[in-house]
Every structure is written in structure tokens, then in C-alpha cells.
Amino acid sequence: MRIICFCLLTALVSCVTPDSSGEDHPGIYYWKTTWELNPERQAELRAAGTRQLFVRFFDVDWNFNQGQAQPKGILQLPDSLVVDETLAITPVVYVVERVFRQPVDAEELAQRIGRTIEGMSAGHAALRAATRWQIDCDWTPTSRDRYFAFLRALQTQFPDKVINVTIRLHQYREREDNGVPPVSEGLLMCYNMEPVGEPETQNAIYREDLLRGYLKAPPYPIPLDAALPVFAWGAAFRDDLFLGVVSPPAASPGFLDPVGGNRFLVLKDTTLLETFVRPGDDVRYDGANTAALLTAAGLLRDRNEIRDLILFDWRMDVLENWPLAEVWTAFY
């Protein structure tokens, strides 16, 4: 097998690591390829109650031409980067599931990913000393064995790190087929519940009835945090043909007319997030409003295995459009 080449990047980052003192650690994901959280924006997050940042460092996908796993979308960090010392940072790596359907060497992949995280963390002692890394992967019964072997290898090679994994709702409930990851903790993703491109989907991002159904499962064998969505989008259709994801629709006289529930009718030719729509097209709003988020926070609070509530994800307008502090108060 060819050697997997990962770039090692250097970043100046400051952080602290959540401890096991029983204190609350509300957090938010940062899921971008460039760093936009300047000190002023960090201060706003801190004032809203944020104590943790789950920062996507890079993705890993399979390059079929080269027959190897490769990093992509590496987070570009400026040399002058400064992070509030009161915010704990957890590096996150998203591994596309198909990587583990290939003849990947679990030991080598673990080594390359771990070294790349360390390389990106180099230059700042606090980040190098962080005790937790998160691996995000939507594994299946087909890819489970290779994925779990990778997790074991990562933990063995980096024994000073707590390896945390994301767990989708179907994985949380269907444990016999999916298995339970061989790690000490995880994070339950309570969003992206239905296919976005299906016209019969009611709300691709969040549905309370589906969450309630999944949470009927017995407590998970490992401690979990949970994540709720503070994002939304529109799904545009023409005669049940999916046109694409567009900006979240809202009533707009002359352009979009509400037709009941979370559906809007296009009245005039326009472009929404580079997708052209015309009169008669249908746009569905996907997302959770404040009331839904507060209810979800209460449902998760009642699960004994869930420790902290993390929100997905930060954008410049997130504090303007989403009540972060109110949602966290409903959980803690």
C-alpha cells in the first residue's frame, strides 16, 4: 500500500481542556476551512456561555486514482491566531465512511491522522496538551470492523488522548448491527434526521417526533455529549425534482409565499444560493426553531448518559439568529 501523505501544519492556538469536575461545559462546533473567530467574536461566544470549541481540523477521503486516503479541506490558521484561554478546544477530524470500505491500513491511517493533528497543534503548549480528539465518521455495518480497528490503533498510538467519536441517531438505536465504538466517550448528533433531497421529507435537519423515538433506546454503554442544530437551509424542488440546498426561505412578498407549515411557493424568477428557481417551484424550510430546540434540550437533559450540550455550528450571524444561552439554560 502506498504511503499516506498528510501535511503537517503549525498553528499558534491557546486552549484549556474540559475536566471531570462535574462543571458544565456548553460548546459549539467550528466547521470552516479558514479561521474567522477573532477575539471579539470569541468574547461574544464566551459571554453567551460557551466553554468549548469543537474545531474541525481537516477531512479524510479516499482517492481512488491514487488508491489511498488523503486529507482535504485543511483548516488554515493564521500565524497570529489567538484563542481565548478559557475556551477548551477539541480537534475534530471528519473521515468519509468509504475510507473504511477500502483496504486501508488502520495502523498507518491512525499514525498519519494523529501526527497531522499534532502538527497543526505545534507551537502552543496548551493545545498540544489537550486531552481529547474527536473522530467524526458515519460508519455502517460494512465499514464497522475497519473503523473500529482504526479507533483502537489511534488510542494505542496516542495513549495520552481521550478518543471521542460522533454517533448518529441510527447508530445510537441500532447497536446490534452498528456496534458500539471501542472508545471511552462519544457525542450524539441530534440533527440531519431525514434525506434532504426527498420531496416527502418533512424536515431534513430536525424532527422532535423522530428524536423522541430514537431516545427510547436504552442508555448508551459509554458517556455521551449531545449536539443540536443552530443552522437551517432551504430545499428547493420542481415537480418533486430536487434542485439543491438554498438559503433558508422566509415569506417575501412577490417572491416567496408561505403555503403552510414549512413550505413556500416561489412566485418570481430568482436565484437562491446559486440555485435558479422559477414560479411554481417549492422550497422547504429545514431547521429547528427556538421552541423546538428548548424542547430537545429538555429531552436530552433527562438522559443520564448525556453530560454536555454542544451546538452545531458557529457562523458570523449565529448569535443574532439563535438563542444559544437560552438553549444551554434549558439543558443544564
The C-alpha atoms of residue 76 and residue 184 are separated, in whole angstroms, by 30
Among the residue ranges 8-22, 224-238, 315-329, the one predicted with the least confidence is: 8-22
> How many Cα atoms are found within 13 Å in the side-chain-facing hemisphere of 242?
12
pLDDT at 12: 33
pLDDT at 22: 63
The C-alpha atoms of residue 43 and residue 31 are separated, in whole angstroms, by 18
Residue 18 vs residue 208, higher pLDDT: 208
Q: Taking residues 235-243, what's their average pLDDT?
A: 97
pLDDT at 14: 36
Q: Which three cell numbers stand for residue 4?
A: 499516506
Q: Taking residues 228-252, what's their average pLDDT?
A: 94
Does residue 157 surpass a pLDDT of 70?
yes
Q: Taking residues 136-143, what's their average pLDDT?
A: 98
Does residue 139 surpass a pLDDT of 70?
yes
The C-alpha atoms of residue 111 and residue 158 are separated, in whole angstroms, by 9
What value does the mean pLDDT of the chain take? Answer: 91
Q: What percent of the chain has pLDDT over 70?
A: 92
pLDDT (tens digit, 9 = 90+) per residue, 39-84?
999 999 999 999 999 999 999 999 999 999 999 999 998 877 788 8
- Report which residue type is found at 316: M
pLDDT at 124: 60
Torsion sign over Cα 312, 318, 321, 325: positive
Does residue 207 surpass a pLDDT of 90?
yes
Confidence of residue 18 (pLDDT cuts 50, 70, 90): low
pLDDT at 292: 98
3-state secondary structure the chain: CCCCCCCCCCCCCCCECCCCCCCCCCEEEECCCECCCCHHHHHHHHHHCCCEEEEEEEEEEEECCCCEEEEECCCECCCCCCCCCCCEEEEEEEECHHHHHCCCCHHHHHHHHHHHHHHHHCCCHHHHCCCEEEEECCCCCCCHHHHHHHHHHHHHHCCCCEEEEEEEHHHHHCHHHHCCCCCCEEEEECCCCCCCCCCCCCCCCCCHHHHHHHCCCCCCCCCEEEEEECCEEEEEEECCEEEEEECCCCCECCCEEECCCCEEEECCCEEECCEEECCCCEEEEEECCHHHHHHHHHHHHCCCCEEEEEEECCCCCHHHHCCHHHHHHHHC
Strands 263-266, 282-287: parallel, antiparallel or unpaired by DSSP? antiparallel
Q: Taking residues 309-331, what's their average pLDDT?
A: 97
Q: Taking residues 255-265, what's their average pLDDT?
A: 93
Q: Taking residues 130-134, what's their average pLDDT?
A: 92
